Structure 1
């Protein structure tokens, strides 16, 4: 694996970041943006494919504790430190409570919730070290950012299992923030709305009328469009960076107004 050559300039200069599920979609956008802002970025994913220049990768299955521990040990060995963890790995699910069997509930919760806890637990010793020493010069200490969803705060049809998993992520974020604030580790989450990602693309492709389905998803968000992965990445970088040094235990919505706005129907 080639050594990364990220510029030391930028708000994350001298820092190391790990992004789970960082090889595609929102995770790739986050990884690329962190690197652009000066971080040395290690992507943890099941399938790394061909990562863009400036990113390093380690194969990791967040549902397997041995795999997670091995990946974080490799991060320690390669970089010797860790300042930012972005828990982004996750999978989707459709349907009401009638539509997914017990095995699917176990699978989705294992990835989206327990997997986040596994990675965080393995990363905490490294994050504590960075926070205690001030390594990397981050005035806000070390940071964890979890990818949550507007599904945690708004009732969305046909998303019972997915919403349950993201509701757990929101509560987990707050609990972790309380547990680790006095260690100098900030924990926050970002709540994207419907984002223009490969997963949404696959859902649209499988719809009877993809164009009509896209139009319906866009209309559901008051801004009238899907959220971009780059917009979510910018929010993650804010929460992970020094400008948010006094921010912990919050959810930052990047949802086109879906959660908070109640607009009158358009006259058009």
Structure 2
């Protein structure tokens, strides 16, 4: 669905590149996470692929259409939910979506259905400028679905949302994937990436460091650990034991055989821990 090869971009139009020769492909129906800290090159890449920045160097295509030569067909295929809401403040939520759907030459979704989907059914006729920050974000999210996109770009889709709303947004993303939508998710939130993504790319300082599934990354870079709580001399002790280290494994077996364990939980490395291990830096 999406192919990128040796993509470069310089805001100063010299050798100071914000994106440095990145290459990747996204298959149809896949959720692909583009993960990295602020300033890593995530938004630059997304802006190039959605036509907001010119493609300076390299190749990129969506469904076989050259991004360097965008057509109406290309824009009919994609939807974009921006992290920072860009809406018409003097129009109502409904009017924002009604206006936007007229920009497409393909069948579109019912604005009221989309607004209800993101929990804005009671604010349909309210001016968007009077929406809270979270409501504006949900409005932009709903707007990105108006043309039923085949390739859906999501930039920090749950940032700043309360847990209940964030859970609803994640459910919508999962549902669209099940319907065959290809999703390009840019985020520095490793938890949502771990929950939603089929594969992820770690991008740091304009370069892709690694691409793989969250599971494979955990198996390759993480440690196999268990966290146990056990009683010893009437005192509760907590310990992390390796399932690979012989000494730790022997101790775990002893605790099990003696019936001292009160709780036991498997522990795996988080994507954030793996990102730090791979890139040598955190996500801030």
TM-score by length of 1: 0.31
Between structures 1 and 2, the one with greater helix share: 1
TM-score (norm 2): 0.29
Instruction: Indicate the structure whose relative CO is greater, using CA pairs within 8 Å and at least 6 residues apart.
Output: 2
- Higher strand content, 1 or 2: 2
